[in-house]
Amino acid sequence: MLLALQSIPCGSAEEGPSLEDKVKTAFLYKFTKYIRWPEGGPADDFRIAVIGESGILGPLRELARERLADGRKIRVERLRNVDEIGPCHILFIASTERERLREILKKAEPKGVLTVGDGKGFAAEGVVVNFVIVDGRVRFEISRRAAGRSGLEISSQLLKLAILVKE
C-alpha cells in the first residue's frame, strides 16, 4: 500500500484539499501501522496534532471520522503555538514553521512523538519523517537518529520505502 501511494503523481485541478495533501494524509495513517511508540504515551485516543498552516488539516479530520489507529479513535488538533505541544502520537509540522523548527523539536522530542515535517531539509534538522516531492510524486525521508532520540521503533518495511537521511 505504501508503495502504491508513492506512485501517485501530485497536482490536481480539483477543488478542496489537494491530491498531495490527501496522499500525505494516507501516508500518515499508514505510518501508524509501521511505528511503535514508547510506553507511557497518550493512553486514550490516538492524537495527531498539526502546527502551522497546512492543507492537510481537512483531510486528516475527514480520516479521523472514518478510521481508527491502533484500535483507537483518532483525534486531530490544530496547534497555534509551540507552548500548545503536549502528549500526542504524531506532530505534523508544516513548512511555515521553519523558523520555529528547533523550538518545536525541543518541545516534542522528549515526549516520544513521531514528528512529521513538510519542509525541505526538515529530516536533516531532526524531524523523524519528512515529506518530499521527487519527480512529481510524494515520497518521504526518515531520520533514524531522530526516531531513536524520540524512542520510536520504525519497521524495516517502512525503512525500505524511505529515503534515509545520512547523519
Pairing between β-strand 163-164 and β-strand 35-36 as defined by DSSP bridges: unpaired
- Do the beta carbons of residue 48 and residue 60 sit within 8 Å? yes
**Can you give the pTM of this predicted structure?**
0.89
d(C-alpha 124, C-alpha 130), whole Å: 9
Domains of the chain as residue ranges with CATH: 2-8+18-164 (3.40.50.2300)
Pairing between β-strand 35-36 and β-strand 153-154 as defined by DSSP bridges: antiparallel
Q: Tell me the pLDDT of the chain (167 aa) as tens digits.
A: 554 445 555 554 456 789 999 999 999 999 999 999 988 666 689 999 999 999 999 999 999 999 999 899 999 999 999 999 998 999 999 999 999 999 999 999 888 899 999 999 999 999 999 999 999 999 999 999 999 999 999 999 999 999 999 76
Helix (H, G, I), strand (E, B) or coil at 19: helix
Residue that the C-alpha cell 483525534 belongs to = 75
Q: Is the dihedral of CA 14, 20, 21, 26 positive or negative?
A: positive
Helix (H, G, I), strand (E, B) or coil at 20: helix
